[in-house]
Amino acid sequence: MRNKLFLVSTIFLLFMSSAAGCTPLNLTPSAPQMPAPTPEPQVIIVIATPTPGPVIESAMTLEAQRIAVYERTAPAVVNITTQVLRTSFFYGVIPEEGSGSGFVWDSQGHIVTNYHVISGAQKVEVSFSDDFTVAATVVGSDPVNDLAVLRVESMPPDITPLEIGESARLKVGQTAIVLGNPFGRFDRTMTVGVISALNRTIQTENTVLRGVIQTDAAINRGNSGGPLLDLQGRVIGVNSAIYSPTGTSAGVGLAIPADKVRRVVPVLIREGRFPHPWLGVEELGYELTPTLARALRLPVERGLLVARLYRNSPADQAGLRAAQREVIIGNRRYLIGGDIITEVDGRPVTTWEKLSAYLDEECEVGQTITLTIVRDGNTMTLTATLQDTPESLRPG
């Protein structure tokens, strides 16, 4: 009876274990088993898959913007050809051709370009396309800022003048688009880059350009006078020069800022030239340093030591004093005894360039300025009313 009960219990337990999905119990005694080693953890590398939609859409949007800028602005960009008469010792007078770019300023036929594009030209022509070339006259020019305005009697229909933007708010890294005619052959070429730097001061062969925009967008000979545009197609500068050891684009292009263009061009159209404030101090004086000041036994270490003045100039009329004597220190001659200019309208000046930049960029003809000077060890102030630069002293 007991054996029957044991057998029934065993069968019942086996049945219950199998029904529960468990491993059947081993009721037979056996030797103890070693536990199975724990498996090494599995390493799963998850790589995020970028969503292609926004990236592709962004690229297409940028491409579409560039295309739209070109299609809207290219018709207003012109090719300018000039003829200059050169004199040769062997051949006499020889005509030479030059070329540059420009753009339509208004609906009256005014074209903006660089002064150096049309300098000395006896004949100027403007091409809107291969089959539309007209003669142009020079309305006004400003060699100091390398700007000039032409005028044509007729233009193709439906030409829209370019919109002039603002350069004061530009940021390094913004898109910069160049339109022009490189080498005078490749009409309406578009190149794209960024604004590389702002407010450069560039010494050219004939003048000093201030506030210049630097870009890596390709600029070559023939691009001079063409527009530098932003991504909305607004003119932010006028391409003027390149820095290059080879004469071709090396990634350093330079453009006159739009704010200056906006200030100068209307005056050129109205008056034919742009007046530049003139003080009448020859920049043959000395920019003082502590070492030079000690050598000349001067009471201040920084400032501009005046050597010479133009007669009847604003500086002369204001009572500014020029050099009184000369001394020789080492192998150099110095004109001394003149006033030392330390400030203009309360702004310290330590170089002639700073003085010229202030007068040309922030002052106007007829404006009265205050000079702070040191004379015989005493500080005093003088007032001078700026005049227009005399014609004999104008570059060009």
Active site residues: 116, 146, 224
Closest CA to 345 of 310, 372, 385, 309: 372
Q: What is the DSSP letter of 26?
A: -
Q: Cα(389)–Cα(375) distance, rounded to whole angstroms?
A: 27
CA-based R_g, the chain, Å: 38
Q: What DSSP string runs through 301-327?
A: SSSEE---B-TTSHHHHHT-----EEE
How many other β-carbons are positioned within 10 Å of the β-carbon of residue 27?
A: 8
DSSP output for 239-276: EEEE--SSSS--S-EEEEEHHHHHHHHHHHHHHSS---
In whole angstroms, give the CA distance from residue 359 to residue 371.
12
Total residues found in the chain within this entry: 396
Q: How far apart are CA 115 and CA 103, in angstroms?
A: 14
**Dihedral pair phi/psi, residue 189, rounded to 5°:** -80, 140
Distance (Å, rounded) from C-alpha 314 to C-alpha 324? 19
Say if CB 111 and CB 105 are below 8 A apart: yes
The pair of structure tokens assigned to 323 is 């050099």
Cβ atoms of 375 and 322 within 8 Å: the answer is no
Phi, psi values for residue 314, rounded to 5°: -55, -40
Q: Which two tokens stand for residue 171?
A: 């940021």
Distance spanning both ends of the chain, measured CA to CA? 134
Hunting for tokens 């106007």 — which residue is that? 364
Q: Which residue has the tokens 């219990």?
A: 9
